Amino acid sequence: DMKSSAWPALSLPNAEVLILNFSATSYSLPPFLQSMKNLKVLLVANHGSNRAELDGLSLLSSLNKLKRAMFRRISLPAEPLQMAEGGSGLWSRKRKFVESVISKTIGASPEPPQDLHKLSLVLCDVRHLLHIPSLFPSVRDLEIDYCIDLYELPDTICGISSLEKLSITNLPDLLRLPESIDKLSKLKVLRLHACGTLERLPQSVSQLSELRFLDISNCYSLEAFPEQIGELSSLVKIDMRSCSSITDLPSSLVQMECLTKVICNKDGASLWKSNGFAESKVDERKEEEVSLAFLHG
């Protein structure tokens, strides 16, 4: 385990990239991070078999030039979260307490990194973090990948009004998306790859007027498109490989003139063609094997 006091007192004022690779159950970010005023990219990767409790996130508030951050296999300190979840009472009261505890734990400040445009959370516990969208007010690209135990995305994620790309991928437990997803008015890319238990998309997806690419590949439990999906006037590409539960298409979708490419497998290609969709716009692909080697890397 790496404690804050174990770090040497380094001075790296001109460094633009910091990569921290480790294998531990508890890890503290280095105090000298606070003085790295020119840091643009921060990659924190735990290569251990269990998630590491990460301390020192309050240091990020001083990194005004930080543009990209990636965290791999980490979680917030467990003790305050267990306190927040314990006891009785209404969820609304518990959520306020959770937000308060998390803010104090990770050091949420009134002025978080304003230039942080891409945030990647891989193999992390993000269930409580997503309840505080004010932690990343300028994020345009949010990636949540291989984060188990996430059954639904909270409505609060729709408060990140700057989002242009949302990638929710390889989540085996995800059951639903927030009904208020239409609040993400700038969203151009929505990737839901390999969310195997997701059965439906909220109707409000049809109100994402800037959406250009929808990826629902390997969402094999997804049963249908929203009926009004044809209202997506900017949609140019759909990836629906291995969506075997979708057996019908809304007429509004097939008639979309802006839709120029549909990526699918053999059965999906037959479905689109039988509904009168131009064959030249159908990109038929072979079935691909899914590798889980990444989980052990």
243 and 265 assigned to the same domain: yes
Band the pLDDT of 177: cuts 50, 70, 90.
very high
User: Residue 229: which CATH number?
Assistant: 3.80.10.10
Residue 94 forms part of a structural domain: no
- pLDDT at residue number 291: 54
In the block, residue with structure tokens 């063609």: 273
Residue 172 forms part of a structural domain: yes
Average pLDDT for 1-29: 91
Final residue in a domain of this structure, among 100, 124, 139: 139
Measured N-to-C along each axis, helices 91-106 and 78-85 cross at an angle, to the nearest 10 degrees, of: 160
The predicted-structure confidence for 183-211, as pLDDT tens digits, reads as follows: 999 999 999 999 999 999 999 999 999 99
In the block, residue with structure tokens 């174990």: 6
Residue 20 forms part of a structural domain: yes
Final residue in a domain of this structure, among 120, 139, 158: 139
Cβ–Cβ under 8 Å, residues 32 and 14: no
Q: Which residues form the domain of 206?
A: 142-297
152 and 135 assigned to the same domain: no
Count of the separate structural domains present in the chain: 2
- pLDDT at residue number 75: 86
Q: Which SS3 state, helix, strand or coil, does residue 175 take?
A: coil
- pLDDT at residue number 274: 94
249 and 283 assigned to the same domain: yes
Whole-number Cα distances in Å, 116 to 62, 142, 163, 272:
12, 10, 11, 40
173 and 132 assigned to the same domain: no
In the block, residue with structure tokens 């003139």: 257
φ, ψ at 206 (rounded to 5°) = -65, -10
Final residue in a domain of this structure, among 117, 139, 161: 139
Band the pLDDT of 73: cuts 50, 70, 90.
very high
Residue 52 forms part of a structural domain: yes
The predicted model scores a pTM of 0.85
Residue 14 forms part of a structural domain: yes
185 and 215 assigned to the same domain: yes
31 and 146 assigned to the same domain: no
- pLDDT at residue number 37: 94
- pLDDT at residue number 136: 77
User: Residue 19: which CATH number?
Assistant: 3.80.10
Q: Which SS3 state, helix, strand or coil, does residue 134 take?
A: helix
Both tokens assigned to 119: 């945030």
67 and 150 assigned to the same domain: no
Residue 99 forms part of a structural domain: no
Beta bridge partners of 166: 142, 190
Whether the per-residue pLDDT at 78 is higher than 80: the answer is no
Residue 95 forms part of a structural domain: no
Whether the per-residue pLDDT at 218 is higher than 60: the answer is yes
6 and 124 assigned to the same domain: yes
227 and 199 assigned to the same domain: yes
Average pLDDT for 160-187: 96
28 and 51 assigned to the same domain: yes
Residue 225 forms part of a structural domain: yes
54 and 158 assigned to the same domain: no
Beta bridge partners of 21: 45
135 and 198 assigned to the same domain: no
